[in-house]
Amino acid sequence: MAAQDSFLNERSSLTEEQKSKGFVYRNELPRAYRKRLTIHYCIIGVLCLVISILIGVIVIITSSPDQILVEKTRSHSKRHHTRPSEAKKHIGVFTEITESETQSIIKYLKVNASLQLSDPTTARPNSNFVHTIELKLAPKEQVLKYLDHDGPTPVRSAFVSIFKGASVTPVVEEYEVGPLPNITYAHLLNTTSRKTRIPFNVRPFSMVEFRSIYTDILPVVAKKANFLLNESYGAEFGKHCGDRCLKFSMTPISSAYLAKGERKAWFWFAYDLEFYTLHPLDFQFLVDMTDINPSNWQVQSVWYCSTLFDSLDELLEKYRQNTINKTRVPYPAAKEEELLTSLHLRGDAFPKLNLEAPRQFEPNGPRYTIEDDEVTYMQWKFTYKMSPTIGLQLFNIRFKGERIAYELSMQEIAVLYAANSPASSMLYFADSAGLFGTRTRGLLPGVDCPDYAHFQDIEIYTSNNGGYRRFEKAMCIFEQNNLMPLRRHRAYGKIGAFYGGLLDINLVVRIVISVINYDYVTDFIFHTNGAVEVKVASTGYLASGFYTPAEEQYGTRIRENVIAHLHHHLFHFKADIDIKGTANRFSTWTIKTENKTDEWSSAPQNWHIQTKIKKSLKHSELSAVHKYNFNHPKYLIFSNANQTDKLGNQKSYRLKINGISKMKLPRDQGFEPSVSWSRYQMAVTKQKDSEYTSSSVYAMWDARDPVVNFQKYLDDNENIVDEDLVSWITLGTYHIPQTEHMPNTPTVGGHLSFMLTPFNYFEEDPSMSSRDAIRISPKDKTRPLDGANVERYDMPAGTSCVKDTESLENMLTNSSRFLFF
Ligand SMILES: *[C@@H]1O[C@H](CO)[C@@H](O)[C@H](O)[C@H]1NC(C)=O
Ligand SMILES: *[C@@H]1O[C@H](CO)[C@@H](O)[C@H](O)[C@H]1NC(C)=O
Ligand SMILES: *[C@@H]1O[C@H](CO)[C@@H](O)[C@H](O)[C@H]1NC(C)=O
Ligand SMILES: *[C@@H]1O[C@H](CO)[C@@H](O)[C@H](O)[C@H]1NC(C)=O
Ligand SMILES: *[C@@H]1O[C@H](CO)[C@@H](O)[C@H](O)[C@H]1NC(C)=O
Ligand SMILES: *[C@@H]1O[C@H](CO)[C@@H](O)[C@H](O)[C@H]1NC(C)=O
Ligand SMILES: *[C@@H]1O[C@H](CO)[C@@H](O)[C@H](O)[C@H]1NC(C)=O
Ligand SMILES: *[C@@H]1O[C@H](CO)[C@@H](O)[C@H](O)[C@H]1NC(C)=O
Ligand SMILES: [Cu+2]
């Protein structure tokens, strides 16, 4: 990711995609064939309608629980539609702060004259304004009492961050405001787990600050340097650039690389073409933004043509005097459609015929329900919430009525670059500064999620969006099968032939976080066997820099003047796991090697080497940190010691991590303290309400003294035996770019994931109760090749809406040879 104002702004690449889609779909079929296809589909459409009417009738006259579920679903989630905002929204313990609550909070705070609050749409950096408002989750113990034991409704309050640029000592303060809806207090949060009075120089960027960058910095630089920019690159910055324009990017500098109290950023120019992060130029300038008054911000160093100048004036003077090297790059000649950096179709188009790609559909409509923020799917139930800062959080995740996890959420996305030039080498991004809740929107039906998915709008308050706003299609929920058997067995042969199989059918909650150039697709996947999986993949554009030989070892030259730099993607997740209650323990089961004497062996060599399990209960937070070691393969097990099955197995869930990555920055050096969580592939802490998140919106700036220091959560080294435990998982990967990452990096091969999967928790696989399974048994056990019965557990035998395929019944009725031979 490269940082500039679109960190906060909507970007409009969709229209481009739609344009290119029109091109893809141009008709290449002979006219007659085209007509036939159309008619065929029309008939199918009518058939579908008839079938769904029939199903509707069946639903009404029969009353098996599953069918009632189908009926309920229909009235709740409308396909292709987001739910309208209800006037009287049900407010649960996990419900994000509502519009009317936001109004009350703002009103309450505005009454307090000492806060001098400005409206964020007109505020300046030296004003006070409310940056974010979100739910302050009630203490877990209270929430559980309320949920499980009819306890009192916990007091509802909000977590409010206020930028106080107008203070004598400018500061960001974090308040708790409550109780909602009839507010009586707004007090500074009181916790030792994070700073709640934050030095102003480590504040996250805001629309307010960007407005000043546009008015106080860029015009000054452009006015002086546009002639140089035009001579060097054939383009200019500002209003009068015509059709050859430059765009700026911004690299905020972590406090680790600055004197105490300073706030600085590198800016650099790129061609304003699709897409500008692949069109960087070698003009970078450093701005001191420490002063709260933007008119005192100063351009300091300038980097141009691989040379660092002490000031813009020095560069311009030497440039005019011709005493320095000059860059001469022609403005890209190609039409935008032909640029290798654009997302328009190009090359030898395929497929040759206008035949649609395979896709999934729901034959009988959705099989899940969404009531307020609660999703029910088969044996699963959970509540979702979209926080402006953290983004999507899932709460109270239950399987068969038992809580498996109290919270599951992403905490941070970091991208750490390496480079020679100043602006690129200072790129250390902690993306939550861009406010994840506002980065998720605009999911495209049929591409980002299946067209039959439920698309959910969200509403949140942030100053960056000028107040309480709705973001459309911010998340989607859909059921799918991933075309992989969850389980199957084909027992073949003359005796005992049978077949049993079940697809991995699951429910997906998906968001795509777009942060300038990168798009992070994050899925929460609920499988029918009681496993819940979290998966993230990145796509979108690379960030890049101007190529010089000095950049060679930091990346891949992907075009004449462009190098895409090596970078490290890191993702941090929170999984508040609860196994049969909150008193849990964590053990590692390590695979060891033993040298064993085989007493029964008659060979002269009577010993043999084999593996064995060593179970090790972890007693304290520091002893439970997981640093992957190839020599010691491990299972990570969360158990309830008091819940053993009759065989003595402790009921447990296993955490399986698929996407470990080694942090190569030394501990406590540079940016590293802001992402101290990345020291561990997994860590376990005793649950504390105050240790709510592992990162913060300040992480991009605060390395000198992190606002949230995850390491501190571990350093008190609490006992973790039979305690309420939280697991923190780091996923990551290094990217060394390649030319094929133009224009976009693919998600293919890039999925990182972890999974919570039952481990001796159930006596047998819970998916055994799935009526989506199929069993095939020979009609006559002694003659397995002479026909077999298909058992579908009363499920419909398949709606042939899209294409007539031979039914399994037909295929198997007189010969099952292909299966059992
Ligand atoms: C007003 O805000 C200040 C902090 O700026 C706080 O100390 C004071 O208690 C607030 N007054 C009321 C009535 O909430
Ligand atoms: C809040 O105040 C309103 C109006 O005064 C009152 O009707 C309502 O019951 C109060 N709500 C709570 C939760 O106290
Ligand atoms: C913070 O909370 C602690 C414990 O609840 C209390 O002793 C202390 O006085 C509080 N500090 C402030 C500044 O409110
Ligand atoms: C840049 O320079 C070219 C060539 O001198 C000139 O035609 C053009 O108008 C300049 N661009 C701007 C925006 O002034
Ligand atoms: C200009 O570039 C050349 C070739 O890269 C280099 O040898 C020379 O030192 C540079 N001159 C200045 C003034 O930087
Ligand atoms: C295993 O034990 C036997 C008998 O003590 C010994 O001779 C042999 O070297 C051992 N092998 C290894 C690999 O340690
Ligand atoms: C486990 O059960 C024993 C006996 O019922 C009880 O004393 C103990 O507190 C329980 N421990 C936990 C962690 O629940
Ligand atoms: C299966 O065999 C029966 C009896 O011989 C026959 O009537 C039927 O048409 C056959 N079905 C298929 C699909 O071949
Ligand atoms: Cu990458």
Question: Whose Cα sits closest to atom 11 in ligand 6?
Answer: 595
Of the candidates 728, 614, 617, the one whose C-alpha atom is nearest the C-alpha of residue 681 is: 728
CB 471 within 8 A of CB 479: no
Q: Which CATH class is domain 213-257+266-338?
A: alpha beta
With a 6 Å cutoff on the Cβ, whether 360 touches ligand 8 is no
Q: Cα of 798 to ligand 8 centre, how many Å?
A: 21
Report the nearest atom of ligand 6 relative to the CA of 595.
Answer: 1
Q: Alpha helix (H) ranges present in 62-97?
A: 65-76
DSSP state of 789: E
Question: pTM for the whole thing?
Answer: 0.89
How confident is the model at residue 819, as a pLDDT? 72
Residues with a CB atom less than 6 Å from ligand 2: 181-182
Ligand 2 pocket, mutate which of 157, 182, 183, 185 (most atoms under 8 A from CB)? 182
pLDDT tens per residue across span 196-214: 899 999 999 999 999 999 9
d(CA 509, CA 521): 11
Residues with catalytic roles: 431, 518
Structure tokens at 819: 């299966």
Residue 550 to residues 223, 391, 557: CA-CA distances in angstroms?
Answer: 30, 39, 11
Distance CA 117, CA 164 (A): 9
Task: State the pLDDT at residue 802.
Answer: 58
Pocket of ligand 7 (CB under 6 A): 583, 642, 722
From ligand 1's centre to the CA of 197, what distance in Å?
A: 15
Looking from the CA of residue 179, the nearest atom of ligand 2 is 13
- Work out which ligand 4 atom sits closest to the CA atom of 236: 13
Computed over every residue of the chain, the mean pLDDT equals 88
Looking at the CA of 323, name the nearest ligand: 5
CB 307 less than 6 A from any atom of ligand 5: yes
Q: Which tens digits make up the pLDDT trace of 346-358? A: 999 999 999 989 8
Pairing of strands 157-164, 128-136: antiparallel
Residue ranges of the domains in the chain? 2-62, 85-190, 213-257+266-338, 403-449+471-484+501-579+618-768
Residue 187 has pLDDT above 90, yes or no: yes
Distance 606 CA to ligand 6 centre (A): 10
Class of the 85-190 domain?
Answer: alpha beta
Q: Among 227, 229, 230, name the best residue to mutate to test ligand 4's pocket (greatest count of ligand atoms within 8 A of Cβ).
A: 230
Residue 807, ligand 8, Cβ within 6 A: no
Segment 589-607 mean pLDDT: 87
43 Cα to the center of ligand 5, angstroms: 73
Percent of the chain with pLDDT over 70: 88
Q: Which CATH number fits domain 403-449+471-484+501-579+618-768: 3.40.50.10420, 2.160.20.10, 1.10.3720.10, 2.70.98.20?
A: 2.70.98.20
Q: How confident is the model at residue 127 (pLDDT cuts 50, 70, 90)?
A: very high
How many other β-carbons are positioned within 10 Å of the β-carbon of residue 422? 18
C-alpha of residue 513 to centroid of ligand 9, in Å: 14
CA of 788 to the centre of ligand 8 (A): 13
Q: Do domains 85-190 and 213-257+266-338 have the same CATH topology?
A: yes
Contact criterion met (CB below 8 Å) for 685 and 725: yes
Give the number of the atom of ligand 8 that is nearest the alpha carbon of residue 814: 1
723 alpha carbon, closest ligand: 7
**Cα–Cα–Cα angle for 597, 598, 601, rounded to 5 degrees:** 140
pLDDT in tens, 683-736: 999 999 999 999 999 999 999 999 999 999 999 999 999 999 999 999 999 999
Beta-strand pair 518-527/498-515: antiparallel
Q: Which amino acid is at 618?
A: K
Q: What is the pLDDT of residues 255-298, one digit of tens each?
A: 999 999 999 999 999 999 999 999 999 999 999 999 999 999 99
Residue 583 CA: which ligand 7 atom is closest? 13
Which value, in Å, is the radius of gyration of the alpha carbons in the chain? 30
Cα pseudo-dihedral 81, 86, 92, 98, rounded to 10? 100
Indicate which ligand has the atom closest to the C-alpha of 816: 8
92-102 mean pLDDT = 97
Q: Is the CB of 609 under 6 A from ligand 6?
A: yes
Query: Residue 305 CA: which ligand is closest?
Result: 5
Which neighbouring-strand residues pair with 725?
686
